[in-house]
Amino acid sequence: MRRTFEHRFVARIPALLDEGVVYICIEFTIAVHLCACGCGREVATPLAPSGWKLVFDGESLTLDPSIGNWSFPCKSHYWLERNRVIPARRWTAQEIAAGRARTARLHARSLADSNREPDDLD
């Protein structure tokens, strides 16, 4: 597994990605990289209140929460913290299903909140 990533802020995600680079496109609120396990698959992490959070401290990049590539054959799971890859344990099928259900609920709640009128938010 890769140990570190560098980051590049870009206007558009390139068609061919370099290994070891996280591409961040603010306009399209997404970060994309090749899987840290080395399998070569493209990992897209949408940046949103119900998706991943990006922290850039002027030197390094952190994505939160962890990245679980459950639909990839490698099923890799890791954190990107201050440009470093921190391996995480592999999840069981039950944990993956529960995580997907939780993500779907968060997306639905976020969508419902974004469709509310400002007066409804009190």
- Which is it for strands 53-56 and 61-68: parallel, antiparallel or unpaired? antiparallel
Query: Residue 59 is encoded by which pair of tokens?
Result: 């030197």
Give CA 45 to chain center in angstroms: 3
What is the identity of the amino acid at 102? R
Boundaries of every domain in the chain? 6-90
pLDDT 10s digits, 93-121? 999 899 888 878 877 776 676 676 655 55
Cβ–Cβ under 8 Å, residues 80 and 54:
no
Query: Residue 89 is encoded by which pair of tokens?
Result: 């344990």
β-sheet bridge partners, residue 4: 84
Whether the predicted model's global pTM rises above the 0.95 cut: no
pLDDT for position 121:
52
pLDDT for position 66:
95
Query: Residue 41 is encoded by which pair of tokens?
Result: 């698959």
Residue 51: count other Cβ atoms within 10 Å of its Cβ.
19
